[in-house]
Amino acid sequence: MPQSITIKKPFDAHIHLRRGAMLRAVTPYTTERFYSGIVMPNTDPPIETLEQAAEYKKEILAAVPAGATFEPLMTFYLTKNLKPAEIEKAAKDGSIRGVKYYPWGYSINSQWGPRNVVDAVEVLHAMENAGIPLLLHSEVHLNDHNEEEDPYEGEKIFFRDILPKLLETYPELKISLEHVSTREAAAFIEKNGKAGQLVATITPHHLVYDRTHAFSGGYRTLLNCKPLIKMREDREALRALVKKGLPFVHAGTDTAPHPESRKFSSCAVYGAFNAPVAVELYTQVFDEIGALDKLEDFLSMNGPKFFGVEPSTASMTLVKRDWQVTESVVTDEGVNVWPIGHVQHGLGNEIIRWQIAA
């Protein structure tokens, strides 16, 4: 069995960095592992203008450690206020790589969007004409009667009832199905995916964990995320999907940091902070399924191709060596941020089997 692997430095197609002290604390962990990535816009306030995106990018670049290089690729939030004219300006400017849709009220800072993505008719037509991708949180939260759907069924409902209509109405719209988590999503993207047109991202935590882990020994708050961690059969379907090495499936960590006061609370906030372990866990999974030969395309090639950027010219070597996450990330305000896999706050004494070579 291989004991090391060298790949082009990876690309992360789904990153949450927050703002302020949190951003300054977590950004170095992403820049150590990824040369570039798609930065999500659900900050408070949301990113919905070119000026806001430019300001946010400047803040991110200021947090990149000296001597490191990282290119944040910016996005708009599909809010009720986003106008087609801003999409047209973004197309001419070239700095906006996607527009993210969140089911209303379903996740962190998701209160600004339309109830249903298909309601944003003018903006979607503008995006289709401009060639700017729609980045879809592909779940249904509320039904037609404004009643909450079962959160374990939301992705299945979206792929059954919403996505086919969206694809029929906007046949030229580029779409990335974000952080897919179910066997239904895996089957849909395998059948319908198309490089450069319809792609999907998969997180490390949806490839590593299943619902038995999320509830092992009590609710595991570090795995409290959206989409929820699903059944073992769903995890195995995602693993089977990435093993195929399809050009329209790639890495998007959905790393989502939160202060411990919000994660370890009676109503734990959603988000899995995985930046300190993401590449290592992806490599571990691909090793377990006998697909290390597919790892570079998944991590480093397919994402850049979809977003029209060049892959990294730098390389990264990982070695098969056991290690553990023993520390938190601490902001400059003294706030702890706990990564998944932590020996105390994760499942308990977790061991990660691959490590980035020094």
Residue 7 domain-assigned?
Answer: no
Residue 209 domain-assigned?
Answer: yes
297 counts as catalytic: no
Supply the DSSP string of 273-324, one letter for each residue: --TTTHHHHHHHHHHHTT-GGGHHIIIIIHHHHHHT-PPPSSEEEEEEEEE-
Quote the CA–CA distance of 107 and 269 in Å, as a whole number.
9
Residue 329 domain-assigned?
Answer: no
| Rounded (10°) CA dihedral 45, 49, 52, 53 | 110
pLDDT in tens, 28-71: 999 999 999 999 999 989 999 999 999 999 999 999 999 999 99
**Contact yes or no for 183/256 (Cβ under 8 A):** no
CATH of the domain at 109: 3.20.20.140
Residue 285 domain-assigned?
Answer: no
Q: Which two tokens stand for residue 164?
A: 């086919």
Structural domain boundaries enclosing 117: 12-276
Q: What's the structural domain count of the chain?
A: 1
221 vs 266, residue with greater confidence? 221
Question: Catalytic: which of 210, 234, 254, 297?
Answer: 254
Residue 101 CA from chain centroid, whole number: 13
Residue 76: closest CA among 99, 58, 93 = 99
Statement: residue 109 has pLDDT above 70: no
Give the percent of the chain with pLDDT over 70.
Answer: 98
Residue 357 domain-assigned?
Answer: no
The number of CA neighbours under 13 Å toward the Cβ of 146 is 1
The number of CA neighbours under 13 Å toward the Cβ of 173 is 26
pTM: 0.96
Quote the CA–CA distance of 161 and 100 in Å, as a whole number.
20
Instruction: Give the per-residue pLDDT at 77.
Output: 96
pLDDT in tens, 315-357: 999 999 999 999 999 999 999 999 999 999 999 889 999 999 9
Statement: residue 125 has pLDDT above 70: yes
Q: Which two tokens stand for residue 300?
A: 């480093």
Going by pLDDT thresholds of 50, 70 and 90, the confidence category of residue 106 is: low
Residue 291 domain-assigned?
Answer: no
pLDDT in tens, 194-227: 999 999 999 999 999 999 987 776 678 999 999 9
Instruction: Give the per-residue pLDDT at 147.
Output: 82
Residue 107 domain-assigned?
Answer: yes
Q: Which residues contact 164 (CB under 8 A, 6 or more apart)?
A: none
For the chain, strand residue ranges (E) read: 4-8, 11-15, 36-39, 71-77, 96-101, 134-137, 175-178, 198-202, 249-251, 315-323, 329-330, 336-337, 352-356
Statement: residue 314 has pLDDT above 90: yes
Q: What is the rounded average pLDDT of the residues 219-241?
A: 95
Residue 1 domain-assigned?
Answer: no
